Amino acid sequence: MSETLIEDTPNGEALRGEARPGAVHDTFTVPDRDARFPYMASPSELSTYHRKGFGLRAEVQEHLAADYDGGIVDYLRANEFTLTAGDVTVRLAREFGFCYGVERAVEYAYQTRRKFPDRRLFLVGEIIHNPHVNARLREMGIEVLMPTDGAFDFSGIRQDDVVIMPAFGVTIQDFERLRGIGCVLVDTTCGSVLNVWKRVDGYARDGYTALIHGKHYHEETRATASQVLKHPGGRYLVVRDMGEVDLVCEYLAGRGEREAFLAHFAPAISPGFDPDRDLVKIGVANQTTMLASESLAIAETVGRAIEQARGAAARGTDFRSFDTICSATQERQDAVTALLDEGVDVMIVVGGYNSSNTISLAMLCAERVPTYHVESPEAIEPGPNLVRYRLPQKHHDEATASPWLQAGPVRVGLTAGASTPNSKIGEAVERILATRGLTAGV
């Protein structure tokens, strides 16, 4: 199977050519179309399928800027990512907020509304994990379909409707159902996600079980796992963290109990999964928004377990690994680590409570300083010096802290997940300063 370079450019065109050194992180490789990736079908192959936008970028830019840009963020960028008012210094991580894939997905949704002003528009789940953005799309008349027990109901969709697929992608099964209806499909799947699909497709084709570091219920991971099932005998296993990887390694070492293993991983394995058969050859991949250091550690741990169980030769033949953390996720994690190294007293992380990459950022920060993951700036209440936040951990629990901003000179670190618009980052800065009775003055 040969590979071509697909690079989505700002005007929605696609550039094709040989992979080159130093390509930007928004560049990704995908298999040729004969590798059963219907998402990449050309217009001649599927006339109702659109992945390149509608050439309306200029027409929607004013609306996008009004909804999501922020002057305070512009000021921070121009001033070494630092704003000082009184004895409060706010430091913004140098990589933050909307990534290219998110910008592209949101822009394509706006283009779709402009292209089809009189059609019914549907979105398969949230386009990204940010409540403000999804609320804005609803205001534009785009109906967001939400799953029930993990399944979408497409019974109300007609052939003349338009359906937008989110940045996370959709499962092969849902794609085929929508294609069968004959409606217009607008695909905003992120290129980094397509790159993961390529990897697990290759694993399944070559007889390896795809071990995916991710959340089995997450839209992206569900879509990724579905790619495996295109192949006869394709198998997957989703592991949430190192604790679950330890269970896999125990089984590889011959110390696991079959029924207990299957019961534990029941919602996270492919139909008919047999650990005695399906843990012989393993290929590791990951949900693109997981904590990078954990994904790398998981791959190394699984490879080492195979070697300890069956020897170095088995590790060479029966184990594959490829880091599929997207570079935007990695850049945001690296940037916040650099900010922590420079020294802050407290961190505010802005992003949806269901945003995996934001949760990863908050957990990374919490290892070093008190950290408050807020879903929106409104969670910071200046009057009572109070913040409502999600605890920086894997499981969802919320709490309230008051006072959260201590007296005296303070350095507040700030970052935001890849689905958080600049406007909300700026509002968070305003509320941080207002807690001390200060204004940004920009």
Which tokens in the block code for residue 53? 């936008």
Contacts of 194 (CB under 8 A, 6+ apart): 28, 30, 37, 39, 40, 169
Q: How far apart are CA 231 and CA 36, in angstroms?
A: 10
Q: Where are the domains of the chain?
A: 3-61+100-190, 69-98+328-434, 193-325
Question: Could you tell me which residue, 42 or 427, shows the higher pLDDT?
Answer: 427
Helix (H, G, I), strand (E, B) or coil at 87: coil
Per-residue pLDDT at 442 exceeds 90: no
Catalytic, out of 220, 294, 375, 427: 220
CATH (residue range 193-325): 3.40.1010.20
Average pLDDT score over residue span 421-427: 97
pTM, to two decimals: 0.86
Per-residue pLDDT at 31 exceeds 70: no
pLDDT in tens, 103-130: 999 999 999 999 999 999 999 999 999 9
Per-residue pLDDT at 34 exceeds 70: no
Give me the chain's average pLDDT, please.
90
pLDDT in tens, 246-287: 999 999 999 999 999 999 999 999 999 999 999 999 999 999
Q: Distance of alpha carbon 120 from its chain centroid, rounded? A: 27
Catalytic-residue membership of 176 = no
Q: Return the half-sphere exposure (C-beta side, CA atoms, 13 A cut-off) of residue 330.
A: 16
Per-residue pLDDT at 24 exceeds 90: no
Helix (H, G, I), strand (E, B) or coil at 89: strand
Contact 110, 432 (CB under 8 A): no
Same CATH fold, 193-325 and 69-98+328-434?
Answer: yes
Helix (H, G, I), strand (E, B) or coil at 225: helix
Per-residue pLDDT at 189 exceeds 90: yes
The DSSP letter of residue 4 is: E
Contacts of 160 (CB under 8 A, 6+ apart): 119, 120, 183
CATH (residue range 69-98+328-434): 3.40.1010.20
Q: How far apart are CA 76 and CA 158, in angstroms?
A: 47
Q: How far apart are CA 186 and CA 119, in angstroms?
A: 13
Helix (H, G, I), strand (E, B) or coil at 371: strand
**Which DSSP string corresponds to 113-170?**
HHH-TTS-EEEES-SSS-HHHHHHHHHTTEEEE--BTTB---TT--TT-EEEEPTT--
> What was the pLDDT predicted at 325?
83
> What was the pLDDT predicted at 1?
33
- pLDDT class for 394, splitting at 50, 70, 90? confident
pLDDT in tens, 41-84: 444 445 799 999 999 999 999 999 999 999 999 999 999 999 99
Domain 3-61+100-190 matching CATH 3.40.50.11270: the answer reads yes
The DSSP letter of residue 384 is: T
Nearest to 346 by CA among 407, 389, 410: 410
> What was the pLDDT predicted at 198?
96
Q: What is the Cα gyration radius of the chain?
A: 23
Per-residue pLDDT at 17 exceeds 70: no
Q: Which of 13-27, 158-172, 184-198 has the lowest mean pLDDT?
A: 13-27
- % of residues, the chain, pLDDT over 70: 90
Average pLDDT score over residue span 194-214: 97
Average pLDDT score over residue span 350-370: 96
Per-residue pLDDT at 158 exceeds 50: yes
> What was the pLDDT predicted at 157?
98
Q: Which of 7-11, 208-212, 283-287 has the lowest mean pLDDT?
A: 7-11
